[in-house]
Amino acid sequence: MGALPARSSPPIRGSHFTGAWAADQWEARLEAGWGGGRLYGKGAVMAAAVALWVRTEPPLLGALPLPPPARLGRPYLRKMAAYARRRAAEGCFPRLRWASWRHIACGKLRLGRGLAWLYFQRFLRLLPAPPPRSLRRAEAEAACGSAEELERERSKARPGWAGWAGGRALCVSCPCVMALPLPPQLSVDTLQFLLFLYLQQLSRLSLRTAIRGEQWPSPAAPGPAGKGAGQSKNWNDQDHLAFVLAHLSDMLELLLEPEQLSASSHATSNSLVSYEAVCALSFLIEGTVEGSGTVHPLHELALWQPCQEKNGYSKSNNAFSFPKLESWLRSCLTTNPFGMTACLRSGKKLAWAQQVEGTTRRAKIACNTPVVPEVFPMVIMSQVYKQTLAKSSDTLVGAHVRIHRCNESFIYLLSPLRSVTIEKCRNSTFVLGPVEVSIHVHSCDNVKVIAVCYSLSLSSTTGCTFHILTPTQPLILAGNQAVSLAPFHTHYPMLEDHMAQVGLATLPNYWDSPMLLGKESSDTSVFRLLPPSDFYTFVIPFEMEGDTTETPGGLPHAYQKALSQREQKVQDLAENGEGGVPEQGSEEAVPDAGGKQVL
Residue 575's contacts (CB-CB under 8 Å, 6 or more residues apart) are none
- What structural domains does the chain harbor? 347-563+594-598 (2.160.20.70)
Write out pLDDT tens, residues 426-452. 999 999 999 999 999 999 999 999 999
Q: Which CB contacts under 8 angstroms, 24+ apart, belong to 310-313?
A: 313/23
Kindly write down the DSSP assignment for every residue of 529-591, as one continuous string. Answer: EPPGGG--B--------SS--S-TT---HHHHHHHHHHHHHHHHHHHTT--SPPPP-SBPP--
β 448-452/429-432 pair status: parallel
| Winning range, highest mean pLDDT, from 1-5, 66-70, 207-211, 313-317 | 313-317
Q: Residue 301: phi, psi to the nearest 5?
A: -70, -35
Could you tell me which of 123, 124, 127, 103 has the C-alpha nearest to residue 113?
Answer: 103
| pLDDT surpasses 70 at 545 | yes
Q: How many percent of the chain have pLDDT more than 70?
A: 76
CA angle, corner 174, sides to 33 and 122, nearest 5?
A: 110
| pLDDT surpasses 90 at 36 | no
CA distance readout (Å), 156 to 138, 159, 409: 15, 10, 48
Q: Residue 359: its pLDDT value, please?
A: 59
Q: Residue 471: its pLDDT value, please?
A: 98
Confidence class of residue 38 from pLDDT cuts 50, 70 and 90?
very low
Confidence class of residue 214 from pLDDT cuts 50, 70 and 90?
very low
CA 362 to CA 335: how far, in whole Å? 28
Confidence class of residue 128 from pLDDT cuts 50, 70 and 90?
confident
Return the higher-pLDDT residue of 290 and 278.
278
Yes or no: say if 356 and 264 are a contact pair by the CB < 8 Å rule. Answer: no
| 180-184, 540-544, 563-567: least confident range | 180-184
Return the higher-pLDDT residue of 37 and 455.
455
CA 460 to CA 477: how far, in whole Å? 8
Confidence class of residue 558 from pLDDT cuts 50, 70 and 90?
very high
Q: How many CB atoms lie within 10 A of CB 44?
A: 14
CA 559 to CA 555: how far, in whole Å? 6
Q: Residue 42: phi, psi to the nearest 5?
A: -60, -40
Partners of 451 in beta bridges: 468
Confidence class of residue 233 from pLDDT cuts 50, 70 and 90?
low
Handedness of CA 79, 85, 91, 93 (dihedral sign): positive
Yes or no: say if 229 and 221 are a contact pair by the CB < 8 Å rule. Answer: yes
pTM confidence score:
0.84
Could you tell me which of 141, 232, 258, 209 has the C-alpha nearest to residue 508?
Answer: 141
Q: Residue 48: its pLDDT value, please?
A: 63
Q: How many CB atoms lie within 10 A of CB 570?
A: 15
| pLDDT surpasses 70 at 220 | no
Q: Residue 66: its pLDDT value, please?
A: 87
CA 321 to CA 305: how far, in whole Å? 15
Q: Residue 356: its pLDDT value, please?
A: 56
CA 527 to CA 15: how far, in whole Å? 46
Run of H or E including 386:
none
β 435-442/378-382 pair status: unpaired
- In one-letter notation, the amino acid at residue 81 is A
pLDDT, mean over the chain: 83
Q: Residue 446 carries which DSSP code?
A: S
| 239-253, 275-289, 360-374: least confident range | 360-374
| 32-41, 291-300, 382-391, 397-406: least confident range | 32-41
pLDDT (mean) for 211-220? 41
Helices (H), 215-290: 237-255, 275-281
Kindly write down the DSSP assignment for every residue of 101-151, as one continuous string. Answer: HHHIIIIIS---HHHHHHHHHHHHHHS---HHHHHHHHHHHHT--SHHHHH
Q: Residue 363: its pLDDT value, please?
A: 85
Q: How many CB atoms lie within 10 A of CB 598?
A: 17
CA 8 to CA 28: how far, in whole Å? 20
